[in-house]
Chains A and B, each alone.
Chain A
Amino acid sequence: MTIALPEQASTQPVQTALIDCDIHNSLPSEATLDKYLPERWRQHREAFASRAYHGLYYPLASQHAARTDAWPPSGMIPGSDLGFLREQLLDRWGMQYGVLLPLLSAGKQLNLEWGAAIARAVNEWQLAEWLEPEPRLRASIVVPYEAPDLAVAEIERVAKLPGFVQVELESRTHEPLGRRKYWPMYHAAAERGLPMAMHFGAQGGWPITGVGSPSFYVEYHAGQLTAFQDQVISLVTEGVFEQIPDLKFVLIEGGFGWLPPLMWRLDRAYAKLKAEVPHLRRLPSEYIREHMWFTTQPVEEPHEPRDFQVMLDDLAMDDRIMFSTDYPHWDFDAPDAAIPTSVAPELRRKIMAENARALYRL
């Protein structure tokens, strides 16, 4: 599908297919899950609800971190009303496909079996209430990633269902994601041709920075990028991509401006310290460029516009950057403002749709 964006919203005419790689669908309420939970877990939800790592609260910029205009007329919470999501996002922008990433707390549950029950219920809810009614949508498999054996079982179950294109993780885990505890989950995903998708967020039980808990939401929000860097370092250094050569990793809502300098320092550190990691056979940057994908929102904004191209040249990953909006959150990037107008048409086409089409086989 090709669309022309409305004149008033655009600095230049945009004629390109759009695939949005980061849309958040929400439960209308916790009770929505009951329909998809067995009796044992319905009772558990009623009595104990969600129990995650606590004491790490940063009140959000807005309720549900949502755009103020994303509240549906139905009165439902942002991201929970498919009709309104179609109208405000898919139809409004002429999206060809959109990839759902529900942020619904399965991975951060302290009770791991309860986390697995949430994951199953959320995936069933996505299938019944999102994928079946709306053919433009694809979904991410929610898993209890801190219990990889349970996560593997859920991947095995859901990968057979239509419409699921990747396995979802959140960036703040209890251990760095390269550690071997998580490998069975990666094997299960790679064997089924599913990328792992790590999205901004969650809680892993540690302060939001490696130097302790900061004070403000702005630090929480910006500080997530340290988790992204930590996770990339771990995945590469542990040799995950040597172990599982088919594994693909998508990093969502973490940007990518930090990646070139990270590759420079990792390659240099590797040159000095390779004796510690003999399981690696190539430069860290080679694993990154071969195995990783990134989404655009919140787009990098260099102080000087020309540095956007400098950054892309440093990155040398033109086939790995994928457009995303983060709908319905406050820091939404609209399609006509998601990347600078200076990006060449061919690369724009790749970023706005073709890279995602190739990765997700859409």
Chain B
Amino acid sequence: MNTDRQADLTLDGNAAGGLLRELFAIDMTGAQITCGGCGAVAAVASVPDYGGIMGAILRCAHCDTAMLRITRTRAGLWLDMRGARVLFVAADIS
């Protein structure tokens, strides 16, 4: 992985792993997320991330719904999960 591009950046949930670790106590890249728009289920790591380098916008690969948005401001981190129905963390996740 090398995320050092300024424009036209498409990453995936893998790249949001560090940001997610600031919000959750455990690694969330292996968690399953259910899209609030269409119900598709995918690993957080596997979905496209259009947030670029300033945050994360994880979108559903099927219907493009913004499932999870993270923005960093001077005040702190904002997490908007309106587009996600369920987050599932398996018992053996590390």
A and B, one complex? no
Which residue numbers of A lie inside 8 Å of B, CB to CB?
Answer: none
Which residue numbers of B lie inside 8 Å of A, CB to CB?
Answer: none
